Chains A and B, each alone.
Chain A
Amino acid sequence: MIAALLLAIAVGGDTPLDNPDQEARAQSLMREIRCVVCENEPVSHSTADIAVDMRRTIRSQVAAGESNEAVREFFAERYGQFVLFRPPTNGAGALIWLFPFALLAVIGAVMLRGAFRWRKSHAGVQPESELQDD
């Protein structure tokens, strides 16, 4: 264990995983977990030592077969929800995710209803001439 850790330090801790799918998954996780000593930087961007540690942790967890959700939870438990760039999808967090689509759906539905009603009562509207120069 200690030997493995020392080895990790010796190669800088940024050895990509052998499995390309796992590596891609690890990299996308690195882009959405905050480097805790930086200003608004994900760990993928940072050259800070702690970011190297966090990247290593992400890779080892992904290599151990943990799901994305489990990795996120691990970091949220350690550093707080703040560390995740992706807001939670459960509880009140779901409202944040639903907001744009609900807003679009509600306004869209009202507008569509109005449009259908209007169409029923106005069948004979003619198009304007095709080309206007601006």
Chain B
Amino acid sequence: MIAELGHFLAFLALASAAAQGAIGLTEGGVAVKRLAMATGGFVVASFACLIISFVTLDFSVALVASHSHSLKPILYRIAGTWGNHEGSMLLWSVIMAGYGAVAALVMRGDALRDKALGVQGVLTAMSMAYLLFASSPFTRLDPAPFDGGGLNPLLQDPALAFHPPFLYLGYVGFSFVFSLAAAGLLIGKIDSEWAARAQPWALAAWSALTVGISLGAIWAYYELGWGGWWFWDPVENASFMPWLVGAALVHSLLVTRKRGGMASWTAFLAVLAFCLSMLGAFLVRSGVLNSVHTFAMDPKRGMLLLGGLAVAGGAAFALYAWRAPSLKAGPEYDPVSREGALVLNNLFLAVSAATVLLGTVLPIVTEAYGMRMSIQEPYFHLTVAPLLAVLFLFIPFALLAPWRKADLKSELRRLAPAGAISLVVAIAAFAFGHSNIWLAFGVFVGSWVACGVAIDLWRRAGSGGPARLLKLSPGVWGMAIAHLGLAIFVVGAATETAARVERTFVLEPGQTAELRGWTFRLVGVGDVEGPNYNASRADILATKGSLAEHLYPEKRLYPVAGTPTTEVAIRKSLTGDIYVALGDPVREQPGAWRMRISHHPMIDWVFGGAGLIALGGVMSLVAHARRRLKRTSSETREATGSAAPAPDVSPDAKGAPA
């Protein structure tokens, strides 16, 4: 019954979303707000039904039967709901309709809101139609099997249970930014006011995407057993492209909001970010890439997803081409100014995104013509990484330069201490960091950015001293923390990439291996039994001087799914991780095991830095929301003479009974 109820609610959501689109794009009014909230309610309820089917192990539902199992722990039963193609598409719709419903609640009722909710309704209706007619999660099985087919054991991991929801909050969050841009273009108003209303949504989506990508990277680091955290895998690139464009967007929105400038480019990025999200969904879900993410090996679905991208993206870009020329240009500015620096930011981020796009899509295109090629890590390390490094060099300048016109000489004089400190730090890093020039350069960039942030904060504190620092607005702190996070990330990423060592060893019990001053002795390998898997577990004694620690890497076999996974053993410290992954027993040599031992210096700086970037984004978002709430309530006070909050002013008020 629950599954049928969910199916029925999904149809209601489709109808409600279609009505939301139709009314939102025509007459608008309070009906759109109600429909957006209804759509959100229906999709969430439908998703809840699917979760209940998964938790109660209703194997008569085909999706549950193929993706769950009675031996699966409760967290992964819930996460199993979105750990498959159909469920993840429903999650996609939930988040899309959810953004619409939240926007209906918090946005002031006017033409921009109505049109944006209308576009969001159309997008939601498209995704619900795709769900219901091409990948329904509610299909029943008759007869129902006694037990399920399990979940890909690689995906049974806490970081990965929450990786898709965050990733989708980001990916799909850009859908509402897209809707706002389309609405702004429709009513011919992309200006400072529009940017102020769009920015919280862009920040929310981009911060969530940062968290989602980081969770994926953390998972890849310890679960895949490869030891790296970013592989420039096409699937990772699919999420990195909207991230890069989203990063460009939150910066160009700043120019549009503060100065009214770059309006047309900002609208373009807002449309592009979601188009790249849809392209990502197509790449990941259609089966054109071979990887753990590809649940749907089905060309028909791929064509439908590509069609959806073509329709939504095509319509939006056509609208853009039609309306953008009539947008008002902002006030002029000197090339050497904060605007100028943010234009450079956008140039480098856009070129990086275009490079990732080329490197991701070209191999797929050439393969279609019978020519298989790979564009992976070596290419991106030599193209995107240096582009971004050069971009990061501009950050301190962008933080300090005034709007409109800056004096290059005085800015450079102000930044001289940052340069001097960074140079010393980089030379020290070169001396102690294996004489690696890339490592030293990365450390220089990170230190330069961090010093830039410090000088900016110092300047803002002014004569008030450190006490004044605490009184700076959350927006300033958000910006500082995000850029500080970036600095930490860059130092970690450069150090880890340049100075990690990985080596494969074959050890028999009693034998030892050495790496970076550590001695690893294989004590033995035994069998252990988990709740739904069997594992071989190695006992390895790692010693260095007076330090000694046992590490227990495992090789697990999940009999239900029949696939092996590696559970690596990691010894963490501030300076880096010692990482052991157990491989296979060596056939020719009974008792001997293959294992990978590696040292990953400063790996936590990578994840910590990314976390701070997301935190900074969230703080800016909070600052925006607070400022808007303050403004709305003061406007309302002026209008009504009372302090009572009335979220809907104008055109809604007239036709609304309550």
Chain A residues with a Cβ under 8 A of chain B: 9-12, 14, 16, 27, 31-32, 34, 39-42, 44-45, 47, 52, 55, 80-88, 96-97, 99-101, 103-104, 107-108, 111, 115, 118-119, 122, 125-134
Contact A126-B589, Cβ < 8 Å, known A87-B379, A119-B334: no
**Which residues of chain A come closer than 8 Å to B473, judged between CB atoms?**
133-134
A32 — nearest CB in chain B belongs to which residue? B378
Assess whether B571 is interfacial by the CB under 8 Å rule. Answer: no
Q: How far is the CB of A121 from chain B (nearest CB, A)?
A: 10
Contact A14 B504 (CB under 8 A): yes
Q: How far is the CB of A110 from chain B (nearest CB, A)?
A: 10
Partner of A14, one of B354, B371, B503: B503
Prevailing SS type, chain B contact patch: mixed
Partner of B373, one of A31, A81, A101: A81
Interface string of B467-499 (1 = CB under 8 A from A): 000001101100100000000000000000000
Contact B594 A12 (CB under 8 A): yes
Contact B476 A133 (CB under 8 A): yes
Q: What's the Cα separation between A70 and B154 when bound, in Å? A: 37
Contact A125 B404 (CB under 8 A): yes
Q: How far is the CB of A106 from chain B (nearest CB, A)?
A: 10
B339 — nearest CB in chain A belongs to which residue? A128
Partner of A40, one of B290, B371, B595: B290
Contact B583 A47 (CB under 8 A): yes
Q: How far is the CB of A42 from chain B (nearest CB, A)?
A: 8
Q: How far is the CB of A104 from chain B (nearest CB, A)?
A: 5
Assess whether B625 is interfacial by the CB under 8 Å rule. Answer: no
Q: What's the Cα separation between A85 and B363 when bound, in Å? A: 11
Contact A85 B402 (CB under 8 A): no
Contact B387 A100 (CB under 8 A): yes
**Which residues of chain A come closer than 8 Å to B583, judged between CB atoms?**
47
Contact A127 B337 (CB under 8 A): yes
Contact A104 B594 (CB under 8 A): no
Partner of A85, one of B337, B340, B376, B475: B376
Contact A97 B332 (CB under 8 A): no
Contact A134-B476, Cβ < 8 Å, known A39-B291, A44-B502, A99-B358: yes
Chain B residues with a Cβ under 8 A of chain A: 226-228, 231, 233-234, 258, 290-292, 332-335, 337, 340, 343, 347-348, 351-352, 354-355, 358-359, 362, 371-379, 382-384, 387, 402-407, 459-460, 462, 472-473, 475-476, 479, 502-506, 581, 583-584, 586, 588-589, 592, 594-596, 620, 623
Contact A130 B343 (CB under 8 A): no
Q: How far is the CB of A105 from chain B (nearest CB, A)?
A: 10
A12 — nearest CB in chain B belongs to which residue? B506
6 contacts between A and B (CB under 8 A): A11-B506, A12-B592, A40-B290, A47-B581, A86-B378, A115-B340
**Which residues of chain A come closer than 8 Å to B406, judged between CB atoms?**
127
**Which residues of chain A come closer than 8 Å to B403, judged between CB atoms?**
127-128, 132
Sorted nearest first, the 10 A-B pairs with minimum C-beta distance are A12-B506, A47-B583, A134-B475, A115-B335, A85-B376, A86-B378, A82-B372, A128-B403, A100-B355, A127-B405
Contact A55 B373 (CB under 8 A): no
Contact A31-B377, Cβ < 8 Å, known A12-B594, A134-B623: yes
Q: What's the Cα separation between A30 and B227 when bound, in Å? A: 14
Contact A111 B347 (CB under 8 A): yes
Q: How far is the CB of A14 from chain B (nearest CB, A)?
A: 4
Given contacts A32-B377, A99-B354, A133-B472, 9 further A-B contacts (CB under 8 A): A32-B378, A81-B372, A87-B373, A87-B375, A100-B387, A104-B387, A126-B405, A133-B460, A134-B473
Q: How far is the CB of A33 from chain B (nearest CB, A)?
A: 10
A114 — nearest CB in chain B belongs to which residue? B335
Contact A85-B226, Cβ < 8 Å, known A14-B503, A127-B402, A134-B479: no
Q: What's the Cα separation between A16 and B382 when bound, in Å? A: 27
Partner of A104, one of B340, B347, B404, B475: B347
**Which residues of chain A come closer than 8 Å to B335, judged between CB atoms?**
115, 118-119
Q: How far is the CB of B356 from chain A (nearest CB, A)?
A: 9
Output the residue of A87, A104, A134 with the most chain B CB within 10 A: A134
Contact A40 B387 (CB under 8 A): no
Q: How far is the CB of A108 from chain B (nearest CB, A)?
A: 7
**Which residues of chain B come closer than 8 Å to A85, judged between CB atoms?**
374-379
Q: What's the Cα separation between A130 and B292 when bound, in Å? A: 51
Q: How far is the CB of A128 from chain B (nearest CB, A)?
A: 4
**Which residues of chain B come closer than 8 Å to A82, judged between CB atoms?**
372-374
Contact B402 A129 (CB under 8 A): yes
Contact B372 A97 (CB under 8 A): no
Partner of B351, one of A11, A42, A103: A103
Q: What's the Cα separation between A44 and B377 when bound, in Å? A: 13
Contact B347 A96 (CB under 8 A): no
Partner of B404, one of A12, A40, A96, A128: A128
Contact B506 A133 (CB under 8 A): no
Contact B504 A55 (CB under 8 A): yes
Q: What's the Cα separation between A104 and B472 when bound, in Å? A: 37
A102 — nearest CB in chain B belongs to which residue? B351
